[in-house]
Amino acid sequence: MSLDLAAITEMTIFFILATIVIGGALGLIYAQRVAHSMMALIFCFMAVAGIFILMSAEFVAVIQILVYLASVMLVVLFGIMLTRRQILEEDFE
């Protein structure tokens, strides 16, 4: 069984992206700070979009990036930042 160069390259890229997804998921769980957790989640979502591109599902990859990264992550990040500021202000009073 002989694999051509394109198949080997595709498998290598898949394993790199899968490693980034798993590392991002573990980073999301074990990060001490919320901002680090958010960055790990962003890496995870981007790698999932890369896997969608490998599967020739470009539309799903674009929707993954637009919906999760642009909308959900931005709203969650602003919510966390605003909540954290109110918690810190209450501690000083």
pTM comes to: 0.77
pLDDT category at 91 given cuts 50, 70, 90 is: low
Query: Per the structure, how many domains does the chain have?
Result: 1
Highest mean pLDDT among 2-6, 41-45, 57-61, 63-67: 57-61
Buried b (16+ CB within 10 A) or exposed e, 2-19: eeeeeeeeeeeeeeebee
What is the CATH number for 12?
1.20.120.1200
Between 26 and 79, the more confident residue is 26
pLDDT category at 20 given cuts 50, 70, 90 is: very high
Distance CA 1, CA 20 (A): 29
Q: Give the structural domain span for 47.
A: 5-92
Q: Which residue has the tokens 């890229």?
A: 13
